Chain A
Amino acid sequence: MTTNSHDLDHLLKLTVQNHKLEGILHIAPTESPELIEPSALEAFVIGEGVKSSFINQDAISTLTHLVQADPGLAHEACVARGQPPVSGGDSTLQLEASIQTRIDEIESRRAELEDAVSNEPANPPSQSDSSEAIDFYEMSPFLIVKRGDQICTLIESTEGEDGTDVFGQTIASKDGKPTLSLNDASVHVAQNGSVTALCSGLLTVTPSSVQVSETLQIPHDVDFSTANINFPGDVHIDGGVMDNFKVRATGEVLIRKLVQSSTIEADKCITLEQGMAGKDKGWIIAHGELHAGYLESIHASVAADCKVDHEITNSTISICGELISPGASLRGGEITIAKQCELNIIGSVQGVETTLVLGSLADLQELLSRSGALIAKATHELEAKQSRYEGFAQSIGKPTPAQIEEQMGMEFEISELRLTLSKLEKANQTLLTTLRTRTSPTLHVHRAIYAKSVIYFPGYKAVFHRDLEGESVLAVDENGGPTLMHHDKERPLRDVAKVYRDQRVPLIEQHDNEYRIAA
């Protein structure tokens, strides 16, 4: 037995590989194959320190057969396998299905968008070309979420399970990478891992971060690569805006380069650092202030003040606040302003007809006109009903039950109509007060008002037939009549303009604490 064991020691050799997870038994060529039997091999392997539970009996048996069959050759086989360690899972983000779908859509359309940019047609496809056509203008590449939207779920990392080598020694496992630090102020991570947007905006998801930005920063032009923009926050565009695109923001809009024939709308301020060349189709809707380098052939509605640095040319603009642009020339078009206006030049030496409407709030005037028409209608109706009632009352002696009810009906209608009329008059008075207090028709011009300029004041219209050069201030006196200060001296406006009575902007007078439109 001792001899056999000794002989075997010369024939057998155990090596390990793969981090000692595999034990390889080598058998040298032998002339005594009878010594090679499974139990002897197993005893050898255990004697080498291999844990018995890791020994593969089948492998030993197979190896034994191979040696018996061909003892003149060296043989080897993996006869023991340890337990490999299992690494823990890293922390991951599992996107909500709707978000994932949107990302997939954006990815799948990216090629089409790039195609659209590289092959931008001379006449871009209109939205109404075909109901089945792809509307490239609406293929936004931005993933926008609303406040409260669930974005994803944070899956926590897991611990690894240690392994054991063939000798029974522990092989340390690796734990999963620790929890992602989603500490961005724009998202909330609930205890169950649910990640929710704390604000509306642009969603950016990377394998290790989730962020919602309230500002959409576009480093180039708005074109087919961006499509139309409708963003719940601020939009900053380092480039310009190409023809026919729309940019809408619930915050402010800042555009650094040229805006072409497009539509720009913001709930707050709009700043066009260079300006807009609208080709008569461009639109600006500012629910706050508007500041532009220049404006050419555009339409605009501005809810607050407006400032233009250089020129306003052939544009139609309605401004509910002031237009303070001391360096700007206004040439052609029509500007309506509620409060004071300051410009450098109005009109041009070539006599371009240029219209300025001062002290006007178009929406309020429209409401005033409608309330006036309703008051007239209700008054007429009331007079007719009263006359009918009086005639009816005089025509009956002792009234029948039916006549009593008819009379009551008439009284009721008259009383209801009086109530309606009273409400209308109150509303009308509120409109007149608002119009009077929120407008101030004053014009300050530094260099010139050229002939063919037309300036409307409340109750008046001045059509310039001569150039008025130099510093001038046009305002209204206490009676509402237009006045002119030229080079700090009073001068009759009629010297340079024909002045007409005009109701385009109503002249509101105050009588006994009540406002009314002057006849």
Chain B
Amino acid sequence: MEILRAENLSKTYGKGETRVEALKNASFSIEKGEFISIVGPSGSGKSTLLNLIGALDNPTSGKVFLNGRYIFDIKEEELAVFRRRNIGFVFQAYNLIPELNVEENIVLPLLLDYKKPDKEYIDELLNTLGLTERRHHLPNQLSGGQQQRVAIGRALAAKPAVILADEPTGNLDSRNSRDVIDLMKLSVDKYRQTLLMITHNENYAAYGDRVFRVEDGIVAELGGGVR
């Protein structure tokens, strides 16, 4: 089942001399439950791609369909709702809400939707992420690895259509990075989630079912050729 499709996606920043073509005519399709790694040098357009898929930014041209829905004509107010139900983000800098404890941070997307969190699911999630002991702690009482695990939990809480992770291990040491990647892989398998992850580390890229390489704004599938 196709969950995500991009058609001729392009993004250009600036004008005249400062004009940068961050993304050029990217087209691909992703099936539900797939784990996609995105690699590429700095400034190649990886983050732009992810932002466009996550509807955080508008493309210069091209289309993205998420769960069959064209996402760029959704109005701001509706888009927020769409985002919290269909897209989970994991940022490099965690971006947890500092005043909320671990559990509150995780269930936040559900609460924003005025839904009652499924207690069993959340407990299970906390358990899987190894945060059961820390559920009442505030972000600043956690290590970087733990914080990133909370962020993963938050991305998984609403069981979105896709999870977008932008260098989730960028701020972590190798042991914590490995944990985080393992957990992401585990979650994708366990909850049949679709994951797009940007990474610099070729080893972690190998976890993916498929690997996209972005260079100078051109997206290519490693071992698969341009699609």
Q: Do A and B bind each other?
A: no
